[in-house]
Chains A and B, each alone.
Chain A
Amino acid sequence: MSTDDGSMYTTVDEADRRLLEETEFDADLGAEMARDAQRVAADELSEVEFYRRYHDRLLAEFDVDDREVEIPDPDEVDADDVNAVDRVEEAFGGLGEALRNVGGEDAESRRSVMKKGAAAAALGLGGLGSAGATTGGEGDGAAGGAGGGAEGDGTRWGMTINLNNCDGCLACMVACNQEHNLSRGANWMYVFAFEDEGQGEETNFLPRTCQHCTDSPCTKVCPVGARHTREEDGLVLTDYDICIGCRYCEVSCPYGVNYFQWGEPDVPESEVDDDHQIDDRGRWVGSRPPEGVMGKCTFCVDRQDGQMGEEKVGTTACQEACAMDAIHFGDLNDPESDPNRHLREYRDGQENDRSDYPNRKGHTVSTFKLMEERGTEPNVRFVGNEPSPHAEQVEGPVAYEDVGLVDDRKEVLDRGAAANGGEEA
């Protein structure tokens, strides 16, 4: 779209336009609104006028009039009324929120909700009504104690892993390895079996994925920007086309979740579908990495992009495989997502006698994030007891070999080294 009034305003660029076009909404309307939103920001167009201009078309397009948003009739808005601006802002804020919630309970998938959220953002609504557009006041109450309930805009994929439910069957690891065609020993999902001080002989389990940290050291240190955070949903991914294999991300990650592709991958390129590898931005970030490049858990980016069908959006292979209801994956910004709901329900389900003990907190469930004090802001939250520094890894009930997995990758690699790299890893 061209600007007739010179180049003062940026036009909607190609990428945004494609995003707009992907949604089932009117791309021209979006582009026009985005430009005018900039004019509003530059104080050249009053918010009231902006609102008046798009009110009807918006109503027609998004069909939000039967939602719980009150949009005042533009003709009743008095341009001289100082409060009108506030009211309009409020209305737009509500609109943004409504857009995000459209279809939440309907049959529509989360993917299209996600896209609507993106469309709303592209329309510049978030900026206009920033106060109102923030979703999730209720989420905070639900997950507040664990830090990291619903906050911020858009999607933020994450997990709640309930250690009390995990029985160490390793089904998640098997599923992950198969789905992502991982080489032996590259356990993107890894289940620790450990004993801890003060817990007797009891064996505990800690399933560990990439924590998809919001403030991730790995993305900071990557010299070429191959390791990056995907803006639309917070996934931390590696661009296999750019990575030079310096392994700096691996040494900077506090959690040891990276697995470098030291040799030929076990599963050759010809057997991996493009759908699983290329994400919705056209970048090669999915499935196992090629030789000489870094890999790690992707939170099943192919699923989140709808490449495995709309019904798989918002799921992961490990979560699907877990029969014990230990792994819960979903949008942490959505109070009704699986990880948030599970935590809420689990807390509610635990006894907590507040009539005799009025000073008790709202719940008695212990939650933690791994090494939260490192400031990485992990997006995986655990229910259960955090392993102490004295925790020691022990043999679990199911041996890795029994389910076709390799625990110690070095063994595989050493054999490869001894055979002059003849073997794969």
Chain B
Amino acid sequence: MSVDGVDVTGVDRDTLTRPIRSFSTRYIAALAVALGLIGVWLFFYSRQLRHGLIVTNLADWGSGGGVPWGLYIGAFIWWVGIAHGGIILSAAVRLLGMDTYQPVARLAELLTIAALTCAGIFILIHVGRPDRLVTSVLPAWPTRVQWSPLMWDVTVITAYFVLTATYLALTIRYDVTRLRDRLPDRLEPLYSALTVGYTEREDEVVERMVWWIAFAIIIMAPLLLHGGVIPWLFSLLPSMAGWAGGVQGPSFLSIALTSAVAGIIIVAAAFRYAYGWEELIPRAVFQGLAKWLGFFSLIFLWLQLQQVITGIFAAPTTLQHATEVKISTPLYWVAIGLVVLAMLYAFATALRPDLFDLRALVGISVGVLFGTLTEKVLFVVEGLQHAHFALYDGVPGQYVPSAVEISAVLGTIGVVVLFFLVVSKVIPVVELHAIEDHEEVDA
């Protein structure tokens, strides 16, 4: 889905480094919001640290009438999804040479790093003994990694984090060296560390390495993170009717891609708005992203349909029950509705470009992210409420996330905002390659 007529090579280097060299009250305001969100979360989280997970609304499934996994796990999946989708899109841009999206490729990579961090935070606050994450996990790794899907998960997330960071570091060296005269002197030690040992001769090697990393990311996409280990956390457990089954992998991946495009749209639009980057990230980029959003939404909806139909037509009792409850939950339809809306809008603007409005697209992207988070939390919670062992159905129990849990979602959003605010002051968040062809740069 290439978009014609996107050529940002006319944009100069000053525009590219504008975020680093400017400072505004709006920046301060955004910083305050981010820190405020994080503050609210830390305030609530300190209670959890003091009293334990009892301050959440989680409980035991079975005779306990609750769910042991809830919003924390739902949000964990959501962040991993955004991260995974982000890196796939950026890799696709590099691998397939989709130059149109080059201005947002690095934003997608940064979003991946930030989102993976948030996923990590959710693991940390989900477990009962975060103090043991290192002491218990490391010694157990060699013997448990072939067994526990949770261990696969931790392994793959770490691997992806390292891969993405390497990828970023390699491409940043190139930019930092060439833009050094426009970067602030007080960060000199950091820049020399980033570019240590850099010579122009490495460019070619790095380019090839980046290509291979991108290739690896694309190849591994259907297996790792949302293509594999995350859905396997659930789909491999036959005890829960709503979880088990082979469709979870594709379904999770579709959610990851949908959420990631929505996330990139929001981040890119924010930068464009804040720094007057109309030329650097032109409207056509967003129009292209909107088409991707529509396309991934369609796949997401298609996979939901697959699950609902197999769940109600002539399904085994428990699966049927789980599906019936799912489709009678109003919140599920809110989530689906938001994604349907995104799809319709994307396709409508593709047919009638004059309908396209960036603000509307951002609004719709926020809706999509809300929808995918909701769907994921419902998936986790309702899965646990309809086990095959049906005798517990008599135990009443409803799960509504507590303030502590909800604040964590806000807190991690704050973390992502803070991350972008800080990083954009240090390195160019759009690559030099976006505005200058290689030859030009070297010339």
Interface string of A113-131 (1 = CB under 8 A from B): 0000000000000000000
Query: Which of chain A's residues have a CB closer than 8 A to the CB of B60?
Result: 186, 250, 256, 258-260, 409-410
Interface string of B86-128 (1 = CB under 8 A from A): 0000000000000000000000000000000000000000111
Interface string of A192-229 (1 = CB under 8 A from B): 10100000000000100000000001001111111000
Is A392 in contact with B394, judged by CB distance below 8 angstroms? Answer: yes
Interface size classification for chain A: 35 or more
Q: Does B295 contact A (CB under 8 A)?
A: no
Is A251 in contact with B144, judged by CB distance below 8 angstroms? Answer: no
Q: Does B282 contact A (CB under 8 A)?
A: no
Q: Does B140 contact A (CB under 8 A)?
A: yes
Is A421 in contact with B394, judged by CB distance below 8 angstroms? Answer: no
A367 to chain B, nearest CB (A): 18
Is B388 in contact with A264, judged by CB distance below 8 angstroms? Answer: no
Number of B residues near A (Cβ < 8 Å) is 59
Partner of B65, one of A186, A243, A394, A409: A409
Interface string of A219-251 (1 = CB under 8 A from B): 011111110000000000000001111111011
Query: Which of chain B's residues have a CB closer than 8 A to the CB of A411?
Result: 65
A271 to chain B, nearest CB (A): 19
Is A413 in contact with B59, judged by CB distance below 8 angstroms? Answer: yes
Is A250 in contact with B68, judged by CB distance below 8 angstroms? Answer: yes
For A227, give the chain B residue with the smallest CB separation: B148
Q: Does A291 contact B (CB under 8 A)?
A: yes
A228 to chain B, nearest CB (A): 11
Interface string of B177-210 (1 = CB under 8 A from A): 0000000000000000000000000000000000
Complex Cα distance, B389 from A194, in Å, reads 13
Known contacts A248-B150, A374-B239, A413-B54; A260 and B47 CB within 8 A of each other: no
B386 to chain A, nearest CB (A): 12
Tell me the chain B residues, 19-67 only, with Cβ under 8 Å from chain A.
47-48, 50-66
Query: Which of chain B's residues have a CB closer than 8 A to the CB of A136?
Result: none
Tell me the chain B residues, 368-402 only, with Cβ under 8 Å from chain A.
384, 387-397, 402
Interface string of B340-379 (1 = CB under 8 A from A): 0000000000000000000000000000000000000000
Tell me the chain A residues, 340-384 only, with Cβ under 8 Å from chain B.
370-371, 374
Partner of A257, one of B62, B128, B151: B62
Q: Does B238 contact A (CB under 8 A)?
A: yes
Binding site for B on A (CB under 8 A): 185-187, 190, 192, 194, 206, 217, 220-226, 242-248, 250-264, 291-294, 370-371, 374, 387, 389, 391-394, 407-411, 413-414, 416-417, 420-423, 425
Binding site for A on B (CB under 8 A): 47-48, 50-66, 68-69, 126-130, 132-133, 136-137, 140, 143-144, 147-151, 154, 233, 237-240, 317-318, 384, 387-397, 402
